[in-house]
Structure 1
Amino acid sequence: MHNLLSNFRVDVNPSLYLKDPESSSLGQNIIKSSIDLIDLHGIEEFNFKKLAKEIGSTESSIYRYFENKQRLLLYLSSLYWGIMEFQLVMETNSMKAGMQRLMKAVEVLFSTPKLNYSSFKLDGAKLRHIINSEFVKAYHNKHVDEQNKAGYFSIYKRLVLRISELINDVNASYSYSNSLSSMIIEGSLNQYFLSEHFHSLTDCHSEDNLYLFYEDLLTKTLKQ
């Protein structure tokens, strides 16, 4: 098991970067420091000039890895969803198909990523906070169709289909498994965002509340 975890690598689409950031200490520092800065300032205020200053390097060195900050955000999103997918598979693989397995998957989605499932030494809580706040900006743009065609969201889409399969295991006759799966995953982000910024618009102000809300929703929705 230790060897499996130590060899794990998220299969981020290579079109998102010009040089693999995992291939050098500078690249790894770019990823770590970009997470720190985006978490602190948000993607709008983040730029490569600030990142270069943070890591004690030059903007041109960062541009050798990423074409722009949008590609960097897409990379971070793929990294996050890849870690969560691996974590979900590891923690549900030995479980019997059914509601308990589905709810374990939901529990994983609502948790902070375990970055021992990654070759990067990153702050999982900060990465989670970035995805909660910024992931919607990664695909709400005019280029989303061509980016989708290029496979930039393949890991995210694969995770949606994994959850959809778990839903079908609970109730094979349920007609909206993909829609429900998307809602679960988007909800894992949106409810946290609402709790942080629009407190009165959600009843879920903790991971436990969120789990119980989805347990109630899924049990009633998938009841045969």
Structure 2
Amino acid sequence: MIINRLSIDIPAGQRVAVIGECGAGKSSLLGMLSGYLSPTDGAILYDGYNLGHLSQNFFSQHLSVVTTHDVLFTGTIESNFALKPQNDRGRVLKALHLANCGFILQHPMGLKFPVNFMAKNLSSGQQQQLLLARSLSSNASVFLWDEPTSNLDENTEKQIFDNLDEFIHGKTLIMVTHRRYLIKYFDRVLVMKGGKIIRDCSPDKLLM
């Protein structure tokens, strides 16, 4: 979906939910904010700096992205989290707890639990929980998530979001979701249609 004449300002520390029908441009917007896609006109500014001019080191330090195409790598849970050098064991365990990954925390192998090729020994929901935990374990200032809990049940989602402040208090979160019951956890909601933002309001106003 082409993003058309879109202009938004997201203050640091704000939590923004992006909703809309399939094909509305939500994932394209997140792709541009994460640097995966480049605008053909205009610019995306991060703290006044053009995102297109920033280094890969900047992206790895300041942005934590979860897309619908992310995968776990063959190896162990520990090796998947070791991709982020700032991670320590305590932080990883805390992130796994927050993402409700009891299936790892309570397993005898713990962080040594093996991840098979294409993570086929894990359910789609478990994979999402681990990808979310990997993101949460980073020390990023901006989190960009594209439907990170779409394969989880409502109860598990709510358990995760009820404790979100534990890791990302004061940090920026922009998340694409189809689950309207999750928007209460956000400060602001952007409703997209046809590559445009057709509504920008608080969750309370949207749910009225």
* TM-score, normalised via structure 2 length: 0.29
Larger RCO (CA within 8 A; separation ≥ 6): 2
* TM-score, normalised via structure 1 length: 0.28
**Larger relative strand fraction:** 2
Which of the pair has more CA radius of gyration?
1
**Larger relative helix fraction:** 1
